[in-house]
Amino acid sequence: MSLTELVPPRTPVDQAERGRGHRGLRRPNFSSEFLVAGVVVVVVAFLSLVPVIYLLAGTFFPRGSFTLEVFREAYSSSILLDMAKNSLVYSIGATVLATVVGTGLAYLVARTDVPMKGLAYAAALVPMIIPGVLHTIAWIFLGSPQIGAVNKLVEPLLGPGFFNIFSMGGMIFVEGIHMAPLTFLLMFAAFKNMDPALEEAALMSGSKPMAVFLRVTLPLVKPALALSTLILFIRAFASFEVPALLGQSSGIWVFTSRIYFALSGYPADYATAGAYSVLMLAVLAAFTVWQARLNKNAKSYQTISGKGFRPSTVPLRGFRRIAGAGVLVYFVISSLLPVLMLVYSSLLGYYAPPTLSAFGRMGLENYVELFMSPTTVSAFTNSILLAVGSATIVMLLTAVIAWLVVRGRIRGGAVLNGLAMVPIGIPGLILGVAMLFFYLRVPLPIYGTLLILLISYVTVFLPFGLSYATSAMFQISAQLEESAKVSGASWFYLFRRVTLPLLMPGLLAGWTFIVLVAVRELGASLLLYSPGDEVLSVVIWQQWSDGRMGQLSALGVVMIAMLALLVAGARKLGANVGVQSP
C-alpha cells in the first residue's frame, strides 16, 4: 500500500478549511493530539503513582507519624550485605544468560536460514508459557539432589546428588531460561524490521557472517538490546518464585524472598517489606536514567523510512548444521525435559522418581478431577478474560506513550516514560498490598470483582508493553508521518493508518508476551482475588501449598497446550504484518 493510499484526498470542505488560514488547519491537529496526550498522562500517573504513594506512606508513616526507624531496623540486619550480593549475582547472571540465549535465537529465526525454525520459535516461548511456580517445580523434579530424575539417571556414573538445583547456579539457570523468551520476542521484532542493506554491504566487502553480526547487526539493534537488558535485570531483581522455592530452602536470601518472609508472618510486617521495596525503586531509578540517556541517540539506529527494502535471509553456510544442533539442544533442555516431567507427574497420584513401579501406577485421575472442578473451570475463564483485556489495553496505551516519548511532541516525555516504568520496580506482592489499601478506602465498588485484578494487571505490565512499543517506534523514521501531515492528514488519522501498521510487529509481540505472563501472574493476584474470582496462578499456588503435585502438574499441562495454540496463532498473524517480502 502506497503512502498516497493512506492519506485521504482533499475534499471541497478541506479546501474551504484551508482557505480560512493557518488557524483553521492547525486547530484539529492540536485538539486531538494534545487531548490524547493529556488523557494518557492522567491514566499513567494514576496507575503508577497511587501504588508508590501508598508504599511510601506505609514505610515512612507506619504508625501515622514520620519515622526512619523502619529503615534502621531493616538495613541494620546482619544479612543485608549477603542479601544484596546474592540479589546482584542472581540478577546479573540470569540477565546475561537470558540475553545471550534470547538474542541468539531471535537472530537465527528472524534473519538466517537455520533449520527447524518452527522448533526454535516453540522452544523460545514454551518456558514463558509455563507459570513460574510450575516451571520451578519441574526443575525440582529434574535437578533435586534427592528426587531429581537427572540425578537418578547419572547417579551410577557421577554419584548421588551431582546436580543441585537448590544453589545459586541452579537459580540463575532456571530464571535465565525462563526469561529468555522476553528477549526473543523483543529482539525478533527488531531483527525482522531491520534494513539489511548495511549487512549486505559488509558481506560483499568480504566480512565473515560472525563479524557482520557483531560489528553491524548488533549495533543497529542497540536500543532494543539495551531496553531488553534493562527489563531483564529488573525483572530478575524483582522475581519471586525461583528465590522462594530454590534459594530460601538453602539459605540463599534475596530481597524478594525477604519481602515475602516479612509479609507471610503474623502480623505481616508491611513496613520492613516497604523498606526493602524502596531500595528496589532506587535501583529502578538508576536504570531509568541510563535508559533515557540511550534514547537521546536513538535516531542514529532508525532503519525503517520512506525508502523501501526487502528483508533478506543470511546464509549460515557451514554453520547451518551447528546452529540447528544448538536449537535442538536448547529445545530439549528448556522445553522438552520440563514438560515431560510435568506430564509424568500429572499421571501419578503422588510424585516419585521415574521407575518401573511408578510407571505402573499411572492414570488419568488428576485430569478427570481437573475438569470436574468448578473452581478450575472458573479460573480458566477469569484468566483468559483478564489476560486478553489487560494486553489489549496496555499495548494501545503504550503505543501512544511511545509516540509521545520518541517523537518528543510534548514537554516532559522523559517524565512520562519514567512514570510508566515505575511499576516494574515494585514486586507484585507489594503492589497488591498498596492497591488493596487504596481501593478499600475509596468509594469505588470494584474490590471483590475482576475489575481490580484488571487494573492491577494493566499496572504491572505497563512497563513491559512500553518496552516493546518504544523499541518498535525507534526503528520508524518520522519521514512517513511528516509526509502524511504535509498531505493534510490529522494526527489521529496518520497515527491509525500510518504509525500503528508500522508498529504492529512490535505491538503484536508485546501483546503475546503480556497475555502469556498475565495468565501466570501471581503476586498481585494472590492478594487481590476474592473467592469465586480465582485465576489459574492462584489455583496453582493453592495446590502447591497443599502438596497436590499431580493435580498441579495436570493443570500445567492443560495450560501449556492452551497457550501453545495462542502462540501459534500469534505467529501466523505476525507473518502478515510489518515489513513484507514481495
CA distances from 84 to 253, 255, 256, 523 (A): 9, 7, 11, 22
Taking Cα atoms as reference points, which of 380, 340, 371 lies closest to residue 551?
371
Greatest alpha-carbon span in the chain: 89
Taking the model in full, what pTM does it have?
A: 0.76
Inside any domain, residue 7: no
Both 178 and 202 in a single domain?
yes
Inside any domain, residue 519: yes
DSSP 9: P
Both 77 and 143 in a single domain?
yes
- In the prediction, which pLDDT does 24 show? 39
| Mean pLDDT over each residue of the chain, to the nearest integer | 78
Inside any domain, residue 18: no
The residue segments making up the domain with residue 577 are: 35-64+363-581
Q: CA 325, CA 114: separation in Å to the nearest integer?
A: 10
Both 572 and 471 in a single domain?
yes
Q: CA 168, CA 251: separation in Å to the nearest integer?
A: 10
**Residue count of the chain:** 582
DSSP letters, 437-459, are HHHTTSS-TTTTSHHHHHHHHHH
**pLDDT tens digits, residue range 350-369?**
888 888 888 888 999 999 98
Residue 252 makes CB contacts below 8 A (sequence gap 6+) with: 86, 90, 167, 168, 171, 243, 246
Both 301 and 225 in a single domain?
yes
DSSP element (H, E) containing 320: helix 320-331
Say if residue 214's pLDDT is above 90.
no
Residue labelled with grid coordinates 489521529: 492
**pLDDT tens digits, residue range 285-315?**
676 667 656 655 555 445 544 455 555 677 7
Inside any domain, residue 29: no
The set of cell numbers assigned to 505 is 510487529
The set of cell numbers assigned to 475 is 526503528
Per-residue pLDDT averaged across 181-203, rounded? 75
What's the start-to-end Cα distance of the chain, in Å?
Answer: 12
**Phi, psi (deg, nearest 5) at residue 66:** -70, 135
Tally of domains in the chain:
2
**pLDDT tens digits, residue range 509-543?**
888 889 888 888 887 887 788 888 889 988 888 88
Q: CA 264, CA 523: separation in Å to the nearest integer?
A: 12
Q: CA 350, CA 452: separation in Å to the nearest integer?
A: 36
Q: Compute the Cα dihedral for 246, 249, 251, 257 and give only its sign.
A: positive
Both 427 and 517 in a single domain?
yes
